[in-house]
Structure 1
Amino acid sequence: MLEGMTRIEDPQAAGLAALAGLIADETRAMCLLALLDGRAWTAGELARHAGVAASTVSEHLGKLVAGGLLAQERQGRHRYVRLADARVATLVEDLAARVPPAAGRGAVRSLRAASAGAAMARGRTCYDHLAGRLGIVLTDALTARGLLRQDTGFALTDAGVEWFTATGISLTPTGRRPLARGCLDWTERRPHLAGVAGAALCRHALEAGWCERIGSGRAVRVTREGERVLASLLGIPAGELG
């Protein structure tokens, strides 16, 4: 510090630095990205996913819980962790979307890894809403039909609210969460629909069998029934959905 200058302490700056430090570790980042599937994982599952020892991941999870990024619960002998809330999911996804494309690619280690990456890019869950190419196609279709506005931020139109109701998708507000919000997609580099509407659409698509999960990860794909329904409801050609 320059002589004669008085350092001004800023608690918010210190807090921001501490938060950034929590995420600035590759193992912890891998855990946070895995938990974007919206489900609870055990420490053992996350250790296998990250390729580290269970004791190592437990230490990292403890820091993330203490820092407010994860919530934990116990069932019998097992401890489960999940993202603390939708705001944490938004933070992680937004940061991932700002990773330079070249830095995010790295070396493809196997055909299996390449296939999994391609599936994630085609369609995946981002915490509790749909992302990837699938999420963008749905968002664009809602916008083209006048059900969603993006010109002044994301907002459902009156026709959009009526469409959700007529389709049997409940838009029950939860706390202070916005009805519609744009979430920057880290593979498409464009915003997809999040918020209450995005979560309701994703939940309905999975429960109604329009989409199905691929394996145990975040990747999803549209089913034949989903292709038929989405073509009827939103005019989306099947070829654009996968």
Structure 2
Amino acid sequence: MRLFVGLGNPGAKYAGNRHNIGFMAVDRIAEDHGFSPWRTKFQGVIAEGRLGREKVLLLKPETFMNLSGQSVGEALRFYKLTPDDVTVFHDELDLAPGKCRVKTGGGHAGHNGLRSIHGHIGESYHRVRLGVGHPGHKDKVASYVLNDFAKADQNWLDDLIRGISDGAPALADGDTGRFMNAVALRVAPPRSSKTTPKDPAPKPQATPEPPAKDTRNPLQRLADRFK
């Protein structure tokens, strides 16, 4: 069994925030892959389903971001899972908007949701880092992630979330390469190899043949006119 965790803050006030891109990702997976309705459990909401051959539990902690580890730890213990069974989807300031990277283990880089999860289950879980860009100065980070995505972001955001959903079965199966390929096909689809057919070259116009040369002498030509 796999545990996919989307990070964010609960409530309509935060629904469109950059900090809630993890919620957006698991919501899309649940919708596209026929998961059960969301229900309250483990200090959050969960949905159950299958991705390929794997049974998967989706979890959105409702403890608010800074206490996400409480919810994740509770679900982990209940199902007797290990950190290797857990994948966390979260916003990443150090990646450009629309970029996606998969990582296992390592530090939390100051992300309070990851910091909390580290404290409850350790660091050896998987992460899907979803780029939202950086505001340029550390003092602006809090307001930046707690503000909604701009209208100009909606196209790449939709492509990214759809790509994550497309690749979710591969991710559940542990095939990160195939997962990343599915994301790339949405975010940066290959250009068509078809070329616009050129107009056919105009057919050359036939050159009229010159009239046959009259070889008669002048007296013959004059006589022929009066026949």
TM-score (norm 1): 0.26
Larger Rg, first or second structure (1 or 2): 2
Higher relative contact order (CA 8 A, sep 6+): 2
